[in-house]
Chains A and B, each alone.
Chain A
């Protein structure tokens, strides 16, 4: 099996954009080709991570549209939908295509256009992933977060303030990310006084609705230096599912897909959680940063909140988490988010993260679909 390198990366500005999904994908794809100095006609495979362009704007068939717009005709294309973890699933598909020898050069572009919908409509598009017995009760992904947060705080005697500190930290990081949707700090008081969305969680415990796109370029490691001296390697990747019906999980505060996918990724890379220097976690809701930081093995079960309280996950802490600002501050255009997590790690590992730069050799990204229903964990390293 070929080791796979990432030799180019890009992302658009995240936020409220006038561009539609086809244009957003083309913007990131074009920038990624430019980053690597290649033409679209050199691509063997072109994947698009996208959850719901049909439901959001009535645009289907986006990979073919993108191939035409990027002068990549002839390339094999596919759309990868794994709900919120479509980006991570796209990394998995792109990695497979090169590792298997099926493609010598694969580009992945993830993107979503969402802000033209009302919050209620966008929430409903996302909630449509739930089982009928959940959907008919009006369950939303934010309400799953409220249910889980109450259980977590009760089970582990965590203070409500600890959740707010995740938002404060990630907003601080987002200030230094030129692509982030929100580039402003918030204080804990603002978070704790914001309107209740799904009790006990408030507005600032949730990521925004976002338009945006991000892209990565993959090739076999042995030819990576033909494109650039500055590349990273996918040293471990794993994907796994948990129950579709969220209430069927024995422990509502553990995401089995995070545990299982990370075990596969750790084994492949011959690394453990103690070797990770920087991580991008799927903080769609603040509580998810606690759950993932525990289920990935960074901290003991029920102690993720203490790490935030003690500053361990700050940019200058022992394990910086979400240096990009996370979904919370950077924004969460569904299909783009997992790709943008890897873009942040690519910049960090190459020393190109500017004021966000941390000292790192190994980065981990965890991309969560549904409410932990399907998860992809990716480990990137400097060669």
Chain B
């Protein structure tokens, strides 16, 4: 995997028993095996499990902040992710969304977390 792919992939992680999680963990949350594969979710669509619009956001976060928990289907396994919505306009539980890459989801360094301790890019969810 090149650096460029690392920056733009949306990786779920899979263990030898086929369990998939997002994000990855040191050991599979289902069976405790090492997770050995990744599955890119960037080109798949997902279903909205639930959503909210937050009007009280911490430093460096857009306000209002639309957020959703969404569910992807990967080879018969359901994999969930949480992320910003591009818009909450017309969004409802059960709607279909697709990931849209964003270079900066919140302003690094404005909040309490050390900016270099994590990445700040990722995917928002856009209603299809």
Interface residues in chain A, defined as those with a beta carbon under 8 Å from any beta carbon in chain B: 55, 119-121, 123-125, 127-128, 131-140, 142-143, 146-151, 154, 195-201, 243, 245-248, 252
Binds A, one of B1-9, B31-39, B47-55: B47-55
Let me know if B74 is at the binding interface, CB within 8 A: no
Contacts A124-B112, A150-B50, A150-B52; A137 near B58 (Cβ below 8 A): no
Number of B interface residues in the complex (CB < 8 A): 38
Say yes or no: A154 contacts B93, CB within 8 Å. yes
CB distance from A245 to the nearest CB of B (A): 7
A291→B22 CA distance, assembly (Å): 25
Let me know if B81 is at the binding interface, CB within 8 A: yes
Say yes or no: A197 contacts B61, CB within 8 Å. no
Say yes or no: B82 contacts A246, CB within 8 Å. yes
Say yes or no: A247 contacts B84, CB within 8 Å. no
9 A–B contacts, CB within 8 A, in A order: A127-B111, A135-B118, A137-B82, A137-B122, A138-B67, A140-B57, A196-B53, A198-B56, A247-B82
Contacts of A201 in B (CB 8 A): 52
Say yes or no: B52 contacts A199, CB within 8 Å. yes
Let me know if B42 is at the binding interface, CB within 8 A: no
CB distance from A142 to the nearest CB of B (A): 6
Contacts A131-B23, A133-B22; A138 near B84 (Cβ below 8 A): yes
Chain B 95-123 near chain A by CB (<8 Å), digits 1 or 0: 00000000001100001110001111010
A30→B54 CA distance, assembly (Å): 41
Say yes or no: B69 contacts A197, CB within 8 Å. no
Contacts of A139 in B (CB 8 A): 67, 82
Contacts of A134 in B (CB 8 A): 82
Contacts A143-B52, A248-B29; A124 near B58 (Cβ below 8 A): yes
B88 (CB) vs chain A CBs: closest residue? A199
Say yes or no: B58 contacts A151, CB within 8 Å. no
A200→B93 CA distance, assembly (Å): 13
Contacts A133-B122, A135-B118; A123 near B106 (Cβ below 8 A): no
Contacts of A200 in B (CB 8 A): 52
Contacts A140-B57, A150-B51, A248-B21; A135 near B29 (Cβ below 8 A): no
